[in-house]
Structure 1
C-alpha cells in the first residue's frame, strides 16, 4: 500500500482544478481542490473564531479516484467549448470570402479539427449563408471527416434557419456533384426548408425524390411533408400520408397532429380535426400549446363555440399558459358565434395582460357588438382604439361603420351623426355601409327629409347603390307615413328603376294585383338569393301597412312559387302547422290570412281537420326591441279572438284543437278572419 509520502511526490504532471460545490455554503470562502497539495491540518479545516472568514478552504482529491478524472475532463471540455464558440464567432465576424473564412478557421484550428468540431461550429455560427457554405468546404478539406453527408446536413440546416431556398438548392446540387449520398436527415432538412420558405410545391417535389435515393421517410419527414401537401391544397394526399405513418406504427407527436388538424380545418372537415385531437390524447400524446391553438382555431371556424369553451378549460387545467395566439383564436370563435359575454371576457384579459390588439380584432369585436346590441361595450372598445398609441390599433373606416350601424339600430341619431363627423375629421369618406346604416337610423326616427339628404350624399360621393342599400330604402318605406312616402319612393326610383316600378304598383290603390304579380316575379326572379327574402318581407310589410291585403297575398304567391319561402305549411294526420319563423310581421300576417282562408275552404268542402292545429313563430326577439314575432302574434290573435294559445311546453308555438278551431271558423266569414 502506498504511503502518504509517496502520494505527495506524485511523479506525473500536477493537476490543479477548482470547482464550485453543487450546494455552496453560505460562507463566502472559496473551495479549491488539488490533487497535488496534502490534506490541510485539522486546525485549518476548523478555524478559530478569531481567524478571518475569507481564508480559503482546500479539499484534497485522490488522483487515482474517478472524481479526479471527471474534474480533468470537465476542465478540458470547458476549454474546448470556449474554443469552438470563439471559432463560430470569428466565422460570423469575417467577410463572406474564401480567403477571410479560411484565415479565421486556420487561426481557430491550428491542428486539424474533428468532425464534431466542424458540426458544432457550423451549427452555432450566425455567419452569412455564403460564409457558411465556404466554411463547409474548408472543413471538408481540412477536418477529419468520416461522413461528409453530416456536414452537408448541418450546412443545409443553417440555410433553412435563414430561409435561403436558392442557396439550399445550390448546395444540394454541389453535394450530388461531389458524389455524397443524401440520407433521411438531408431530405427532412430540405423539405422543411422549402416549407419554411413558403414553397410547399418544392417540399412535395423533394419528398417524391426520396425513393430514388433509397431513403424512407421518418417521423420528422412525414410531419414536414404532410404540412406541405396541406398548404399546397392536396389535403387527400396529406391525410393518406398521415394514415400511412400511423399504419407503420410511428409514434404520434404534437407536430404531426397539429399539422393534420390544420389540414382538416383548411378543407372544412372540422369533425376530422376534432377526431385527430381526441385520438392523440387517447394515444398518450400530450397536446402542446400549438396543438391547442390549432384546434381552437378549427372549432372557431366551425362555429362551435361550446367546443371552444371546453377545449379552453382543458388547456387551463393542463397548466398550459395561453399566449396571444390562444386569445386571438378565442376572440375569433366567440365573435363569429356572437358569444358576447365570452368575447368581452377574453378582450379584458388581453387588456390586463397588455397584449397588442390590432384593428382587425377590434373590428371583429365592434361588429359583434353592433349585431347583438352591446352599446356600452362597443363604446368602451372604441375609446380604447382611439386611446391606443399603436397605429395598428387606430379606428379605420370599418370601425366607424360598425359604430354607425350600432347607433342606427338603436335609433340613436345623435350618436350616429357624431361618429360620422368623427370619421370625416379623421380623413375617411363615408362608404355605402355607413350611408345605409345612417338612412336606416333616420327612417326609424321618422326623419324622412334626412333620409333624402343622406341619399343625395351617396350620389355626391359617386357611390352606386347595391341590393342591400335598396333593401334598406324598402324598409324605410314600409315604416314611412303615407304623406311622406313619395319622397322615399323617389330615392328608390333613382336607386333601381325596376324596384321603383314594383313599389309604385304596390302603393297605387287603383292598380290591379296582376301587373304587380308579374313585375314582382321578374324582380325577385332576377335578384340575388341573399336579398330575395328581405325584399319580399319589406314589400309585404308595405302592403299590410297600406291595407293592401290582396296585393300582399299576390306577393306571397310569387314568393312561394319562386321557393323564397319554403315549408310554410305542413300537414300530418295529427297536426296541421303554419311555420312563420324568419318572416317579417307583414309577411307573417299575410301568411296567416291565407292559411285561415285555406282552413275555412277545407271546412266548406267537408274536409276533417286534424286533432291539433299549430302556429310556430319561434321564440326569438329582435336584438334592439323587446318585441319579437311571438309577442306581436299573441296580441294579434287576441284581437281576432282566435282560440290559439301559447303552448307551455313548446316555446314559440300557439296551439288549438280542431273543435275550437271549427267553432271559431264557422262563426266568422272568410273576409273577416284577419283584421289588419
Structure 2
C-alpha cells in the first residue's frame, strides 16, 4: 500500500511538473522537483524529462544541462526523451556545439537517438548558421536506422534557408515525396524564404502556386516570405497583388506581411502606396513597429517628401514606437535631399536625448546635407565629431566633405582631405577625385591631380575604340575639362602627325545616366565652352547629341601642346 502511495505521489509530481512546463512556468517546475525529496518522493526519468522540457520551453538551456548532469547522482538513467529535450534546449539557446556534444554522448551512453533527437540537433545547427553540419546529420540518419520525418526535413530546409542555400533547400523539398514525407506550410514557407534570401522571386512565386495542388494552405509566414521575395526582386506590383489576394485565401496579413509590402513600395519608389499601406494597418488594427516606420520614412526620403518623413517621425511616440538609428538615418537623408541642412542637424543633435547613437550613415547624411547647403565649416565640424565619437569614417564621408570644401571655394582643404584618405586606409574613389578636381580645375595643381587619377585607372571608359575618341562618362565638369585639355595637348598632336587627319570626338552624353556631381553645370556645356574659348572648330553631332566633334584639320600641334602646361 505504501509503495502504491509513493508511486501515486511520483505520478502526481510528474503530471504537475509537466503541466508547469507546458504553461511556461519553468520556475514552478523546478520548485516542485526540489520539493520531492522532502516529501520522500523519488524522481524518476519521467520527472527529469518533464523538468528538462520545462527548462527547454522557458529558454533555460543552462538549467536543462544542469538537470541532465544531476541524473547520474540521483541514479536516474537518461533516455532518448531526456537527451532530445536537452538538445532542443540548446537549440533554442543557440548552442549548436553543445547540441552536437550531447548527440555524441548518447552513443557513449548507449542511448539510441530517434527522429526527434536528430530534428532538434539539425535545427540547432541551422540556427547556428551551420547548414553543412545540418545536412551531414540528415545524411547520417539512414545509417542510424532513423527515418527523417516532416519536422526533420523542415529543420534541414530551414538550415539551408538561413545559410543562403536556396538550391539545396529546393532539392530537399523535391526529395520529400520519394521519402514518403508530406510537406506542410512550414516546409513551403522555409523553401520560399530560402528563395527570397537567394533573390529568386520567380521561384518563390512558383512554390506558392504549387501549394494548392499539394493540398497545403499558405499562412501568414508563407505570404510574408513570398512578398519579401518580391520586395528584394524589385517587384512591388507583385508584392501588392499577393497582399490583396490574402483575404480571398482567408489569411490575415500581420505586421511582418505589411512591413514586407511597405518595403517593396519603398524600394520601388512608391511613397504614396507605402503611406497608404501604413494607414491600412491602422484600419486592420495591425500595430506598426520601428521596421514599418523605417520603411515608410525611407519611402518618403526616396520620393523627396522630407515634410512627410518628419511627420512620420514625430508620430512615432503616439504609436509607442521607439525610433532607432535607421529611422533617424532615413529622416536625416530626407532632409538632405530636400535641401534642409538645418533640420538635418537638428535631428542629429536630438539623437542623444532619444538614446540613439549616430553611426557613419547618420553622419554621412548630415555632412552631405551641409555640403548641399554650402556649409563647409559645419561639414568639417561633423567630420571632427566623428573622430571624437569613434565613428568609422569611409569614402562616402570624405567625398561629401571634399565636395563641401569645393563648393565653398576651399580648394586647399579639399586637397588636404583627399591626401588624408590613404593615411586613414580609406581608398579614394572616382567620386573623391571628381570632387577634388572640380575644386582645382583651373589651377596648376589640377593638372597633377588629373594625371594621378588617370594613372590609377579611375576612368576605365575614357578610351573608346581609338585614341581619336574619348568618353567623359563618370567625370565631373572639372575632371572633364582637365581630361579634354590633357587629350588635346598630349595625344591629339601625335594623331595629327599621321598621314591622315582622324575624326576627333568627345563623348559627353546627355546627362541622363550621369550621377549628379553636386553641380548644375552640364559636362557637355563645360567642354563646349572650353573648345569655343580656344576657337577650336567644334560642333554638337546632330545624329548623336551626346557627342562633340572637332575638326582636326584646323588644329595646330604647337597650340595644342600649351593647353596642358600648368600655369606658372
Q: Say yes or no: TM over 0.5.
A: yes
Contact 1:580 1:617 in 2 (8 A): no
Mapped to 2, the partners of 1:129 and 1:526 lie a distance apart of 50
Q: Secondary structure at the match of 1:270?
A: coil
The 1:377–1:624 alpha-carbon spacing in structure 2 relative to 1, beyond 3 Å, is farther
Shift of 1:254: 3.9
Is structure 2 residue 254 aligned with structure 1 residue 323?
yes
The aligned length equals: 506
Mapped to 1, the partners of 2:349 and 2:138 lie a distance apart of 58
Give the corresponding residue for 1:605: 498
Give the corresponding residue for 1:542: 439
Mapped to 2, the partners of 1:174 and 1:461 lie a distance apart of 49
The 1:420–1:527 alpha-carbon spacing in structure 2 relative to 1, beyond 3 Å, is closer
Counterpart selection for 1:270 from 195, 199, 217: 199
Shift of 1:474: 1.7
Mapped to 1, the partners of 2:524 and 2:312 lie a distance apart of 33
Contact 2:125 2:159 in 1 (8 A): yes
Mapped to 2, the partners of 1:419 and 1:179 lie a distance apart of 63
Give the corresponding residue for 1:477: 405
Is structure 2 residue 190 aligned with structure 1 residue 259?
yes
Is structure 2 residue 368 aligned with structure 1 residue 419?
no
With structure 2 as the length reference, what TM-score do the two structures score?
Answer: 0.65
Q: Secondary structure at the match of 2:546?
A: strand
| 1:272-671 mapped onto 2 (5 Å cutoff) | 274-275=202-203, 277-278=205-206, 281=209, 284-285=213-214, 287-302=218-233, 305=236, 308=239, 312=243, 320-336=251-267, 339-367=270-298, 369-370=300-301, 373-385=304-316, 387-390=317-320, 393-397=321-325, 399-423=327-351, 426=354, 437-447=365-375, 450=378, 467-481=395-409, 485=410, 489=412, 493=416, 498-499=419-420, 528-529=426-427, 531-544=428-441, 547-548=442-443, 552-571=446-465, 578-594=470-486, 602=495, 605-607=498-500, 609=502, 614-620=507-513, 627=520, 629=522, 642-644=538-540, 654-655=546-547, 661=549, 664-666=551-553
Shift of 1:571: 2.2
Contact 2:472 2:506 in 1 (8 A): no
Which ranges of structure 2 fall in alignment gaps of 5 or more residues?
A: 1-13, 21-28, 42-52, 58-63, 65-78
The 1:175–1:320 alpha-carbon spacing in structure 2 relative to 1, beyond 3 Å, is same
The 1:582–1:372 alpha-carbon spacing in structure 2 relative to 1, beyond 3 Å, is farther
Contact 1:473 1:492 in 2 (8 A): no
With structure 1 as the length reference, what TM-score do the two structures score?
Answer: 0.56
Shift of 1:257: 3.2
Q: Secondary structure at the match of 1:388?
A: helix
Give the corresponding residue for 1:114: none
Contact 1:407 1:413 in 2 (8 A): yes
Contact 2:55 2:89 in 1 (8 A): no
| 1:33-182 mapped onto 2 (5 Å cutoff) | 92=19, 95-96=32-33, 128=54
Shift of 1:379: 1.5
Shift of 1:541: 0.6
Contact 1:542 1:586 in 2 (8 A): yes
The 1:666–1:199 alpha-carbon spacing in structure 2 relative to 1, beyond 3 Å, is closer
Which is bigger in relative contact order (C-alpha 8 A, separation at least 6)?
Answer: 2
Partner deviation per Cα, 1:520-577 (whole Å, 9 max, x = no partner):
xxx7799645x41122101211122xx23x75454344333322211223228xx986
| 1:241-256 mapped onto 2 (5 Å cutoff) | 241-245=172-176, 253-256=184-187
Q: Secondary structure at the match of 2:475?
A: coil
Mapped to 1, the partners of 2:344 and 2:130 lie a distance apart of 48
Mapped to 2, the partners of 1:583 and 1:183 lie a distance apart of 65
Contact 1:334 1:340 in 2 (8 A): yes
The 1:157–1:563 alpha-carbon spacing in structure 2 relative to 1, beyond 3 Å, is same
Partner deviation per Cα, 1:621-667 (whole Å, 9 max, x = no partner):
778999584785698599778421576xx8xx5247xxxx46x4545
Mapped to 2, the partners of 1:178 and 1:562 lie a distance apart of 65
Contact 1:443 1:451 in 2 (8 A): yes
Contact 1:579 1:617 in 2 (8 A): no
Contact 1:556 1:587 in 2 (8 A): yes
Name the Cα RMSD after superposition.
Answer: 5.9
Mapped to 1, the partners of 2:390 and 2:91 lie a distance apart of 47
Mapped to 2, the partners of 1:593 and 1:274 lie a distance apart of 50
Shift of 1:230: 4.8
